[in-house]
Amino acid sequence: EVQLVESGGGLVKPGRSLRLSCATSGFTFGDYAVSWVRQAPGKGLEWLGFIRSKTYGGTTEYATSVKGRFTISRDDYKSIAYLQMNSLKTDDTAMYYCTGGLRLDYWGQGTLVTVSS
């Protein structure tokens, strides 16, 4: 069974950093791109960025809204992906999801990040 489990969310003050993890199982993680998506309260889903598989260079792409602040990385040995979020703003308050596959085939259940003073 494919599983993606996000962790690392919580309450953080504006300007601070947070790193989310996405632990995966049930599929060949190294063969898959991983994307991060978020949904702010009362808002729609927003794609944040993705990291390609090593086969395709392991490079990353980001949404304009988070480019320069957020960084996606991966550890294929541990089958874990990460989302490093710096200089957090109150607008970054959202449920954060990781997904597997270029077509966002598989999703985790999300981890809640609240940015508030």
Partner 1 sequence: DIQMTQSPSSLSASVGDRVTITCRASQGISNDLGWYQHKPGKAPKRLIFAASSLQRGVPSRFSGSGSGTKFTLTITSLQPEDFATYFCLQHNNYPPTFGQGTKVEIK
Torsion of Cα atoms, 19 then 10 then 2 then 106, to 10°: -80
Sign of CA dihedral 57, 63, 68, 71: negative
- Is there binding between residue 97 and partner 1 (CB under 8 A)? yes
**b/e code 15-47 from CB counts within 10 Å (16+ = b):** eeebebbbbbeebebeebbbbbbbeeeeeeeeb
Residue range at the interface with partner 1 (CB under 8 A); choices 8-16, 22-30, 83-91, 100-108? 100-108
- Is there binding between residue 44 and partner 1 (CB under 8 A)? yes
- Is there binding between residue 25 and partner 1 (CB under 8 A)? no
- Is there binding between residue 35 and partner 1 (CB under 8 A)? yes
Our CB check for partner 1 shows the closer of 7 and 17 to be 7
Distance CA 69, CA 18 (A): 11
- Is there binding between residue 107 and partner 1 (CB under 8 A)? yes
- Is there binding between residue 45 and partner 1 (CB under 8 A)? yes
- Is there binding between residue 61 and partner 1 (CB under 8 A)? yes
* List of residues contacting partner 1 (CB under 8 A): 4, 35, 44-47, 61, 63, 97, 102-110
